[in-house]
Amino acid sequence: ASVVAEAEGIEPLMNTLNAQRDGAISNAIAVLTNLSLQEPFRVGIQSHGIMNALVRPLRSTNSQVQSKAAFAVAAFGCDADARTELRNVGGLEPLVELLHSKNEEVRRNASWAVMVCGSDELTAVELCRLGALDILEEINLSTKHKNKFSEAALEKLLDNNLSQKYSRMGYLSSSNIITNGFYDCGQIKRGGKFFSLEELSKQELTDRRAIIFINAKPQERAREQLIPKCQKSSRFWIFVIKRKDVSYLPPLPMYNFFFYVRKGKGKKEEEKPKEVIRVTPAVQEEINLENSHWLPPPDFILMDYINHASKTILPLTTTREQVVALAQFVADKMGGSVDREQLHNFFWELDMSKIEFELKSNVVPIGKIKRGTFYHRALLFKVIADRIGIGCSLVRGKYSRAWNEVKLVEHSPKGLLLPPQEYIVDLMFEPGCLLKQGSAKADQYKRI
């Protein structure tokens, strides 16, 4: 490595990736991959645009070049900027295609690269859009073709695309934290198309099951808005955007500064504005979110629910108390307790139809639901629990059933630490009642 560095060999190696001979390309990739083991060299190689340079080898018809290129993507893909570069230059598509390879080594290295690249949400969503999930599921069904990397890649993609995971698997663990942009579109059959929330929002209103979405933060589109106010000084313009001008902005103002830049020494100043945007950290976080992917309108009712839970439920002493209080809160917001014998008279479907008709859409914010059944309540419980640090899972059952599982440590005799017990949280019949997993009551809650 030191010899290559001293000889300034990184650039010639990068140039070799455009060579005509497969052997030269393969060897150059191997050397660059070995250099990536040392961080200073990896950073230097990335600065030369390694991911962009690997796109052509990924499209090669030579299996050795394909294998080396996929291996290199796995080596460099541990860096977030490198993953972004690969996504932006169109490198994910040929990488996904390599999962179809009949060559075992190519398939294994491609799975490894997908696993590494799928460690952030944006790349995972794009990989899923390109069909990586379906291919990996097919690979893992074959005892001949599956490998540890293909299994790990599938798990990684699902863990970073929770909407699709819940739709396919019907289960989210306590470590699967629901964030803004999550949506429940129901269970999809194997091979069925999974639509993005943006695609679903553009569909006409139908009588199909409502899609429930989560978005507890306002979007930032300030830079796309007409600037309502401006102030001028001798050196620059200052534009001020306030919440009353743009309803979904936070109360703090945002400023755009346009500075006039002098071009050329001693020449007349040219009035060519150079824009510098200064925003508060909270606003910047929202801009990053908005730029990352499309989000539905903010759900201010859900924001109020989370704020209330943070103030009243989070301070409670024990996890058990928090779980019980949150269950009662969720039930209260979703229509209250329901008599088991009168469940058939709890007309939640009618209320949902009214909301969909009002919104002229099948896509509904969870905060709008005032009469919710099992799967509405279980989702809301999980969303708020994740925000205030209560560990719980979300499980989809049949016939509109869903439930949450929590693990609680019982009081142990002195000097003895007992393992936690798992409970189902009742959100319907006796809100706050904890049903021990495996008990008759728990089984009854999960089934009709």
Q: Which residue has the higher pLDDT, 60 or 239?
A: 60
Same domain, 202 and 305: yes
Same domain, 236 and 344: no
Q: Which residue has the higher pLDDT, 242 or 299?
A: 299
CA distances from 217 to 51, 98, 184, 282, 369 (A): 33, 38, 18, 11, 18
pLDDT given for residue 273 in this prediction: 43
Asked whether residue 171 is assigned to any structural domain, the reply reads no
Asked whether residue 193 is assigned to any structural domain, the reply reads no
pLDDT given for residue 291 in this prediction: 52
Same domain, 442 and 309: yes
For the segment 19-35, what is each residue's pLDDT rounded down to a tens digit? 999 999 999 999 999 88
Q: Which residue has the higher pLDDT, 394 or 121?
A: 394
pLDDT given for residue 292 in this prediction: 54
Q: In total, how many domains does the chain have?
A: 3
Same domain, 211 and 242: no
Q: Are 18 and 56 in contact (CB under 8 A)?
A: yes
pLDDT given for residue 344 in this prediction: 87
Helix axes 374-388, 319-333, angle to 10 degrees: 140
Asked whether residue 306 is assigned to any structural domain, the reply reads yes
CA distance 27 to 42: 17
Q: C-alpha 203: how far from its chain's center?
A: 22
Confidence of residue 9 (pLDDT cuts 50, 70, 90): confident
Who's near 69: CB < 8 A, 6+ residues apart?
A: 29, 54, 57, 58, 60
Q: Which residue has the higher pLDDT, 379 or 265?
A: 379
Same domain, 369 and 337: yes
Asked whether residue 187 is assigned to any structural domain, the reply reads no
Task: Read off the tokens for 56.
Answer: 């052509």
Q: Which residue has the higher pLDDT, 256 or 360?
A: 360
Same domain, 432 and 357: yes
Same domain, 256 and 341: no
pLDDT given for residue 4 in this prediction: 66
Cβ neighbours, 10 Å, residue 337: 16
For the segment 318-332, what is each residue's pLDDT rounded down to a tens digit? 999 999 999 999 999
Same domain, 435 and 369: yes
Assess whether pLDDT exceeds 60 at residue 258. no
pLDDT given for residue 311 in this prediction: 97
pLDDT given for residue 421 in this prediction: 94
Give the mean pLDDT of 144-169.
94
For the segment 60-111, what is each residue's pLDDT rounded down to a tens digit? 999 999 999 999 999 999 999 999 999 999 999 999 999 999 999 999 999 9
Asked whether residue 192 is assigned to any structural domain, the reply reads no
Task: Read off the tokens for 276.
Answer: 């510098």
Assess whether pLDDT exceeds 50 at residue 252. no
Helix axes 50-58, 80-88, angle to 10 degrees: 50
Whose tokens are 């080594």? That residue is 105
Mean pLDDT of the chain: 84
pLDDT given for residue 243 in this prediction: 40
Query: Which amino acid appears at position 438 of this protein?
Result: G
Asked whether residue 178 is assigned to any structural domain, the reply reads no
Same domain, 441 and 338: yes
Task: Read off the tokens for 45.
Answer: 């190689």
Whose tokens are 């990924």? That residue is 58
HSE at residue 140, side-chain half, CA atoms within 13 A, is 15
Assess whether pLDDT exceeds 60 at residue 50. yes
Q: What domain range includes position 252?
A: 222-292
For the segment 423-434, what is each residue's pLDDT rounded down to a tens digit? 999 999 999 999
Same domain, 93 and 20: yes
Last residue of a domain, one of 292, 323, 345: 292
Same domain, 315 and 400: yes
Assess whether pLDDT exceeds 60 at residue 236. no
Give the mean pLDDT of 355-360.
94
CA distance 374 to 207: 20
Same domain, 20 and 124: yes
